Structure 1
Amino acid sequence: MSESRSGGGSAPTVLRMVLGKRLRHLREQAKVSFEQAAEAIDVTPLTVRRMEKAEVGLRIPYVRELLRTYGVSGAETDDFLRMAKEANQPGWWYKYRTVLPDWFRAYVSLESDATVIRIYEPHYVPGLLQTPDYARTLFRIGFPNESEEAIERRVTLRTTRADLLTTPKAPAMWAVLEESVLRRPVGGPGVMRAQIDRLIDAIDLPNVKVQIMPFSAGPHPGAFGPFHYFRFGFTELPDIVYTENLTGAVYVDQADDVVGYLETLDRMAVQADPVDRTRSLLVKMRKEY
């Protein structure tokens, strides 16, 4: 079932999502109902459900008692509690919370812990590949009433996110960009030339692939809008697809739906220009600015 996030509450870290799913698995394995689990920690069944869905923090006394109720003990309990304490720590992006919508905080956590990120983008260069000036221009358009200080905080957050691609545990990133992304002038010729240079540098990274979907390719299966696909190194966490709208986002994790998005990405990758042509296409488009 897709889940819409349009504000309210704090977004979970990926580790909290993983532990929530482990709690559900342990409860079901022990044949303990929501009501029985709730009685064990003196809360409502809804609270247990929200813990398993990572919608609330993992209160350590609650977790300890639930593990006891589920028959978990010893080193396994110690490890779980240690991870729960870690999961309750704010994400690195917490200091940017004043310029980061609640519904997007989950995205930053997913992005930070993914092993694979695949993107279809018909409008703009993906955030992980944007230059500061390109991002700044978009933020000024998207948030016309914000102060320059707030805009700069948004830019800093975005450029900090981009550092992910060069870390030792960098995810594999594969993006399909519409030709319109590169032909829509954002911030003037100088900004666009620098942005294309950034893309050229990015495709030299061993973990980054970018394909361009030319206008000449005609209609394709992903043309309904942008979306991002995440895969993780945790067996408990399913692949997740993120789609965004003007005021919020939807996170899709139902297997059938996610497979549909993945198949669409694969079909678009075949239809787009091959990866080995991306550099020459970028160089050509840069000259037009």
Structure 2
Amino acid sequence: MAEARPGGAPTVLRVVLGKRLQDLREKAGLSYEQAGLALDVTHATIRRMEKAEVGLKLPYVEKLLQTYGVTSPTEVSGFLALTREANRPGWWHRFRDVLPEWFSAFVSLEGEASIIRAYEPHYVPGLLQTEEYTRAVLWAGLPHASVDEIDRLVALRLERQALLTREKAPLLWVVMDETVLRRPIGGVDVMRAQIAHLADLTELPNVRLQVMPFTAGPHSAMYGPFHIFRFEIQELPDIAYTESLIGGAYFDERDDVSAFLEALDRMCAQAAPAQSTKAILGGIRKEI
């Protein structure tokens, strides 16, 4: 999972079912090639099903379950029911006209994570933005977009933010550079409102915000922003995400994710403690 996924972006449930199919195949002692023979497909198709890089066709899934020795009608019907659910488009599908395919996977992971940790050196993360700040950021990044496209993207971002106040909301723990708070985006009024909004969000029990001050000097993640997602679902490992101008990359190998986690842990120790964030925000807002 070390690059943007081709084809349709998977929902988290599809990723889970792919891993369950992999576990069943390995327990049955079958190779990719042997599983492919049962479906009359190539070994690459089996691999892509397990990696959630393609949709899960019900006849294929049913045949694989038989091949792997899953004979209980209850188990089979339950797996097929989950497969149908996994193949349904996520709520964000209605924004597919403006949502890049590589970012659809991000929205799915974000919505299912129990913990979201992030480092941001450039701008306020999307889940914490005001509408006006969002609009200014989008116009800066998409100068050739139409007004309608920007409006759709703003609506998408605001809808994503609902997860912070939902039942069983995830813990959002963000470290942001002081640069983020001092870069003038959208003008003075927009920045003052955005900083006030951040201060309000720190009152939420599931939001933890730390500021990396200029005086802290260099740190272990100065190369760029990233997110780490953690899930309660047993089959899902921690997943790290990075982004560039042309796409996103997802990492789920233990060594890769550990590198991101170690860097973020070091930054959390180096940044100002979360208890002082509201005071820092208030001081910067007065200086604007």
After TM superposition, the score normalised by the length of structure 2 is 0.98
- Corresponding residue number in structure 2 for 1:57: 55
In the TM superposition, 1:20-169 aligns within 5 A as 20-74=18-72, 75-169=74-168
Q: Distance in 1 between matches of 2:143 and 2:234?
A: 42
Q: Distance in 1 between matches of 2:246 and 2:163?
A: 26
- Corresponding residue number in structure 1 for 2:202: 203
**1:73 CA drift (Å):** 2.3
Superposed CA deviations along residues 153-212 of structure 1, whole A, max 9, x for unmatched, are: 000000110111001021111000100000001000110111111111111111000000
The farther-off stretch of 39-48 and 13-22 is: 39-48
CA contact (8 A) 2:171 2:206 kept: yes
- Corresponding residue number in structure 1 for 2:174: 175
Superposed CA deviations along residues 69-95 of structure 1, whole A, max 9, x for unmatched, are: 101122221211111111000011000
Residue 102 of structure 2 aligns to a residue in which SS? helix
Which structure 1 residue ranges, 5 or more long, are not aligned?
none
- Give the AA of the match of 1:231: R
Q: Give aligned pairs, total.
A: 287
**1:4 CA drift (Å):** 1.4
In the TM superposition, 1:215-230 aligns within 5 A as 215-230=214-229
Q: Distance in 2 between matches of 1:194 and 1:162?
A: 17
Q: Distance in 2 between matches of 1:73 and 1:248?
A: 42
RMSD: 1.0
Q: Distance in 2 between matches of 1:260 and 1:171?
A: 22
- Corresponding residue number in structure 2 for 1:194: 193
- Give the AA of the match of 1:148: V
Which structure 2 residue ranges, 5 or more long, are not aligned?
none
CA contact (8 A) 2:174 2:210 kept: yes
CA contact (8 A) 2:58 2:83 kept: yes
- Corresponding residue number in structure 2 for 1:282: 281
Residue 4 of structure 1 aligns to a residue in which SS? coil
- Corresponding residue number in structure 1 for 2:232: 233
- Give the AA of the match of 1:268: M
Q: Distance in 1 between matches of 2:276 and 2:215?
A: 15
Percent same amino acid at aligned positions?
A: 57
Q: Which runs of 4+ in 1 moved over 3 A?
A: none
Q: Distance in 1 between matches of 2:22 and 2:240?
A: 22
**1:42 CA drift (Å):** 2.0
Residue 204 of structure 1 aligns to a residue in which SS? coil
Q: Distance in 1 between matches of 2:6 and 2:259?
A: 29
- Give the AA of the match of 2:152: R
Residue 99 of structure 1 aligns to a residue in which SS? coil
The farther-off stretch of 261-270 and 180-189 is: 261-270
Q: Distance in 1 between matches of 2:6 and 2:171?
A: 31
**1:261 CA drift (Å):** 0.9
- Give the AA of the match of 1:13: T
